[in-house]
Structure 1
Amino acid sequence: MTMPVPPGRRHGRIVRHYGVEVRLAFDDGDFLTVRVKRNSGHVVGDRVCWHGDRLERLERRTLLQRQDPFGKVRSLAANLDGLGIVLAPQPTTPVAFIERVLVAARSAAIAPFLLVNKADLAGSAVLAQQLRQQFGDTQPLLLVSALSGAGLTPLRDLLATLGCCALAGQSGVGKSALLNALCPGLDLQVGELAEGGQGGHTSSVSTLVDLASGGSLIDTPGFRDFAPVQIASAELPGWFPGFAELLHQRACRFRDCRHRQEPGCVIRQALADGSLSAERYGRYLALLDELEAAEQRQRGW
């Protein structure tokens, strides 16, 4: 039950966003739902100050954003410490999606980790092994099941260690089901896979929940594509999976190397000797082209 909120300046955070309303959880334990403009810019996880009838957003430590297919920047969650990329045997998630979310998290100083959900389904162990081969041990990988509860204890321990985390992933991989399993009684809507193995959008709002075992978790709406924003094209190699590890071992001849045709390029050498796959290199070039095109548009070229 929501308690009456006394007047004056009060600090808290946004724990739910309804589009034109947000739910505030004050530091003293009270809650309040207030109206906001649809394009207010507030997101779940924001620290805020409420005074009178005014909602003031405080400085953010981190901000997770993505660019949608129409070029619009979408802010997903604020003040995150960790980001769980949820995957499943069905529906399958393109490798490019995982790489792009990893870039977005790393460049925003948010620690990423991989969650293979639906461990009770055939193919989950194989998927986990493939991910370890593709992404190494640069981020944690957990095999879990929202249905059976397998792997939830290590996940709770990781969330408690990190702090405030969000779950991101394509529709249908089971983000809401995982949140329900971690927080009994929450009862978020969970959808079924449509014909063809594609997930439906069941989460239309973001929700922040404090976990009894420590830390907090944000459920975000599912999406089928992800383009990182607010990262300069020149910075991309330092965040891109597989590239950062190679460049940490040895530097290219030129500091501003874009890894296309420049001489003395460590990445091109790795491509030639087979230690970097042509498929990953092609996905890097595709994202690099997108970032460079966006920069040109911003300059008015």
Structure 2
Amino acid sequence: MESQRLKIKKKGVIVAHHGVAVDILFESGERQMVQVKKRSGHVVGDDVVVSDKLLTRLPRRTELCRRDSRGSIRIVGANLDVLGVVVAPLPRPPFGYIDQAIVTARGAALIPVLVINKCDLEGSEILVAELTATYTGIMDIFVMSAVTGEGLAALELFLGQEFRSFFVGITGVGKSSLLNAICPTLDLRVGELYEAGSRGCNTTTVSTLHALPGGGELVDTPGFNEFGLVDISPEDLAGYFPGFESAMAGRCRFRDCRHRTEPECAVAKLVMSGKIAKERYTTYLEILDQLEAGEARFKSRR
């Protein structure tokens, strides 16, 4: 009888990853901590089956990957629907950060949305105006304050569409404050900005998945500054790049055009006419350089 009890299969989802153990929420509502190897490959959002103390991961619908500073590929979330890009007037997003996030989302078949937090800060309207002018029509934009609650209802309504969302943003933009505002019972610790350089303390050390009161789920994970794009080729970059949609509807002279100096390039024409901002085109070229460098390193190892 005891042997039969241990072999019962229980299906659940990983709701927290602690490095050498994962916290699983089963369909019955029961939770269980299961030990795993340090580099087991399991991530928050994975659907799993536990049987006889064995953990089996089920196929993923989607997965979000990033390349770390050492060049290793790391999966940071599974079975996601939405990538929420959180920015704030302090600290301001690094140049090209939002565009890289959009490319990452589109490459992973996720819906990108922009969340501009800390709109209660003095001067925040400058960043709001800049980003609204740049990204309206490219993705949904939510302007809000986790402190005052302004704009929170619209974001909650969006997340409540049974989406599983993953928030990213550089340290200090208020992701934990935002999550506390959406689900106050979580009581995540919030860090203060350092005065020197206006950098934030990263307060999240464990990746976790939370069910939201209004529906949907949200992943809270340690902040990181760079995406390190993966699974996107230099040839495919323009197809994912925000603001290039109209150019992709046109036709470049060469099928493998990378939109640098090739003749009769549809992207170059839009840049020259001002329909694509030069700053955005510069970001595209910088990301293209990264992808081409990665491609060259890969070929040199073969």
Instruction: Give TM class, smaller chain.
Output: over 0.9
TM-score by length of 1: 0.94
The alpha-carbon deviation at position 162 of structure 1 amounts to 5.4
CA apart distance, 1:299:
2.2
Aligned to 2:75: 75
Distance 1:39 1:75 in 2: 11
Provide the rounded CA distance (Å) in 1 between the counterparts of 2:125 and 2:42.
39
What do the CA deviations read for 1:217-236 (whole angstroms, capped 9, x no partner)? 11111112222211111110
Measured at CA, do residues 283 and 162 of structure 1 come closer, stay the same or move farther in structure 2, by a change above 3 Å?
farther
Contact 1:82 1:162 in 2 (8 A): no
Residue 40 of structure 1 deviates from its aligned partner by: 0.9
Matches of 1:281 and 1:128 in 2, distance apart? 21
Aligned residues: 296
* Alpha-carbon distance change, 120 to 6 in structure 1, aligned in 2, over 3 angstroms: farther
2:248 corresponding residue in structure 1? 247
Tell me which amino acid in the other structure corresponds to 1:114: L
**1: distance between equivalents of 2:281 and 2:185?**
45
**In the alignment, is the contact (CA less than 8 A) between 2:86 and 2:167 conserved in 1?**
yes
CA contact (8 A) 1:42 1:57 kept: yes
Question: How much has 1:24 moved relative to structure 2?
Answer: 0.2
Question: What fraction of aligned residue pairs are identical, expressed as a percent?
Answer: 46
Question: Does residue 166 in structure 1 map to residue 166 in structure 2?
Answer: yes
Q: Which residue of 2 aligns with 1:111?
A: 111
Task: State the SS of the aligned residue for 1:234.
Answer: coil
**SS of structure 2 residue aligned to 1:142:** strand
- Cα separation, partners in 2 of 1:133 and 1:168, compared to 1, 3 Å: same
Contact 2:162 2:215 in 1 (8 A): no
**Shift in Å, 1:278:** 2.4
The alpha-carbon deviation at position 7 of structure 1 amounts to 4.8
Shifted more, 6-15 versus 228-237: the winner is 6-15
1:159-238 equivalent positions in 2, closer than 5 A: 159-161=159-161, 163-195=163-195, 196-238=197-239
- Partner SS for 1:238: helix
TM-score (norm 2): 0.94
Runs of 5+ unmatched residues, structure 2: none
CA distance in 2, matches of 1:292, 1:211: 40
TM-superposed CA distance for 1:124, in Å, is: 2.4
Q: Distance in 1 between matches of 2:162 and 2:123?
A: 29
Residue in 2 aligned with 1:22?
A: 22
Q: Which moved more, 1:130-139 or 1:209-218?
A: 130-139
Query: Who is 2:123 aligned against?
Result: 123
Q: Which amino acid aligns with 1:52?
A: D
Aligned to 2:89: 89
Moved over 6 A (4+): none
Shift of 1:197: 0.9
Where 1:100 maps in the other structure, the secondary structure is helix
Distance between the aligned counterparts of 1:245 and 1:121, measured in 2?
35
Aligned to 2:38: 38
The residue matched to 1:185 in structure 2 has which SS? helix
CA distance, structure 2, for counterparts of residue 275 and residue 207 of structure 1 = 41
Q: CA deviation at 1:99?
A: 0.7
> Which amino acid in 1 is paired with 2:212?
L
Deviations 1:5-43 (A, max 9, x none): 965111110001111111000111110011111111111
Distance 1:52 1:233 in 2: 46
Alignment deviations for residues 224-261 of structure 1 (CA, whole Å, 9 cap, x no partner)? 2222211111110000111234312x121222111011
8 Å CA contact 1:62–1:79 kept in 2: the answer is yes
2:34, 2:156 → 1: CA distance?
Answer: 31
Is the 1:117–1:124 Cα contact (8 Å) retained in structure 2?
Answer: no
CA distance in 1, matches of 2:186, 2:169: 20
Is 1:143 matched with 2:149? no
CA distance in 1, matches of 2:221, 2:65: 12
- Please name the residue that 1:155 is paired with: 155
Alignment partners' CA distance in 2, 1:244 and 1:299: 30
Per the alignment, residue 271 of structure 1 pairs with 271
Deviation at 1:117, TM superposition (A): 0.7
